Amino acid sequence: MMKRNLLALSLGMLCLSAAAQLNYVPKATSNAITQTNLMLKELDAIGIPKGDLVTPRTLEKGELKLVASKDWCSGFFPGELWYLYEMGLGAQYKSAAEKYTAFIEKEKTNGVTHDMGFKVYCSVGNGYRLTKDPHYKDVLIESARTLSTRFNPKIGLIRSWDHHKEQWDYPVIIDNMLNLELLFEATKLTGDSSFYKIAVSHANKTMQHHFRADYSTWHVVDYNPATGIPQKKQTHQGYSDESAWARGQAWALYGYTMCYRETRDPKYLAQAEHVAAYIFGHPNMPKDLIPYWDFNAPGIPNEPRDVSAATVIASGLYELSTYSKKGKSYLAKANTMMKNITSNYMAAPGTAKGFILLHSTGSKPSNTEVDAPLSYADYYYLEAMSRALRLSKHKPIVD
């Protein structure tokens, strides 16, 4: 039955490919099914949950590296399963998604991290979007309340890290933009505008202080807690403080596109377009549009790529294409990126313990997860493909 469903989907997508350039979809869905089935088999053999370990993050010395629910990457694998279910690739993925989502739910009260959106919205949020389960709704609302406790009204921003207090007083990272989606959703679910106002404040302050004149972004801005004034700007995971870390640019493009969706404030659309112009106008962007880990890395072209940045950018572009006058260009770029990822950066079926994509870069400065598979690369790859399919059927990116 699954093979027949996949064949039907593949044939349908091939019919669309001439117009929508979705010819990558049959191979992508086939590989995603094979790899995810392998991953589930590997996890079953391990016996998840194994202590606190509940979800895969990467490979380490050829073996699955599993993480606890408190890890910022914990929600991505459950989210992948929800996307496979959404794309009609099998009801068994709904059951698996429910199982692995349940492991993440306790994070709803974890107030020592800003990564609530990554953890809870990518897992529970997708579950609620597809099932409208009232339990998932309650988890989302409580998670948003917990995240809101990290907002400092005087500074106008949600604090990111609590660690390395000797290095930063009130650090805010560009990644934090993606956690705002949970807050916007909470206002829609409750009618409480406080969540919305926190998200808007954070987006505005980040726009004000996180970007250089060319719309490249710093990774970390440290604020003086007493005055709310930036006192240090760094690119912690990039080549240097003044360089453009590729995934940081990706978070910015995706984050401001999402903020425009939720507010319809034209300044957010303009910001996303400016970031896109920086990314695709950069002389160090490769011809296949899969960026190096940092646009200013000194060893280009002999530097690692970051497929995770590419998948985030592609997913963001699919949505941005629906709002912008440059939509056709953005759509073409997203399709090109996804086609090239599928052709050249995908794990061979039956390998990599079930990860879908290879060649991402977690943190090059600390030499961790370099040229490796990463759960968030797979997540945003499937999200991008899901968005492309919705667009091909003239459906909105988000219900």
- Please check if 115 is assigned to a binding site: yes
pLDDT of residue 19: 45
Query: Total structural domains in the chain?
Result: 1
Report the share of the chain in percent with pLDDT over 70. 95
Query: β-strand 171-173 against 157-158: which pairing, if any?
Result: unpaired
Can you tell me the distance from the alpha carbon of 392 to that of 208, in angstroms, rounded to the nearest whole number?
36
Could you give the residue ranges of the DSSP H alpha helices within the chain? Answer: 2-20, 25-46, 76-86, 92-102, 116, 126-131, 134-148, 180-190, 193-209, 246-263, 266-281, 307-320, 327-344, 375-392
Please indicate if the annotation marks 235 as binding a ligand: yes
Inside any domain, residue 397:
no
Predicted confidence band of residue 6 (pLDDT cuts 50, 70, 90): low
Packing angle of the helix pair 307-320, 327-344 (nearest 10 deg): 150
Q: Supply the pLDDT for residue 2.
A: 52
Over residues 241-266, the mean pLDDT reads 98
For 39, counting Cβ atoms within 10 Å of its Cβ (0-12 exposed, 13-18 middle, 19+ buried), the class is: buried
Residue 81 has pLDDT above 80, yes or no: yes
Give residue 5's pLDDT band: very low, low, confident or very high (50, 70, 90). Answer: low
> Is 175 assigned a ligand-binding role in the annotation?
yes
- Distance in angstroms (rounded) separating the CA atoms of residues 372 and 263: 36
Kindly give the pairing relationship between strand 360-363 and strand 220-223.
unpaired
Q: Is residue 94 part of a domain?
A: yes
Question: Which residue carries 């996949």 as its tokens?
Answer: 6
Confidence at residue 16, expressed as pLDDT on a 0 to 100 scale: 42
pLDDT > 80? residue 20: no
- Sequence length of the chain is 399
In-domain check, residue 207? yes
Please indicate, yes or no, if residue 399 is contained in any of the structural domains: no
**Residue 318 within any structural domain of the chain:** yes
pLDDT digits (tens, 9 = 90+) for 299-358: 999 999 999 999 999 999 999 999 999 999 999 999 999 999 999 999 999 999 999 999
Residue 30 is labelled as binding a ligand: no
At 399, the pLDDT band (50, 70, 90 cuts) reads confident
Residue 247, marked binder: yes
pLDDT tens figures, 201-233? 999 999 999 999 999 999 999 999 999 999 999
Q: Which residues are catalytic?
A: 115, 175
- For residues 124 and 136, is the Cβ–Cβ distance under 8 A? yes
Residue 398 lies in a domain: no
| Residue 138 labelled as part of a binding site | no
**pLDDT 10s digits, 254-292:** 999 999 999 999 999 999 999 999 999 999 999 999 999
Full residue range of the structural domain in which residue 124 is found: 2-392
CATH value at residue 95: 1.50.10.10
Note the pLDDT tens digit of each residue in 155-195: 999 999 999 888 999 999 999 999 999 999 999 999 999 99
What whole-number distance in Å separates Cα of residue 184 and Cα of residue 204?
A: 14
Q: How confident is the model at residue 14 (pLDDT cuts 50, 70, 90)?
A: very low
Residue 241 has a pLDDT of 97
Residue 371 assigned as binding residue? no
Determine whether 379 is exposed, middle or buried from the number of CB atoms within 10 Å of its CB (0-12, 13-18, 19+).
buried
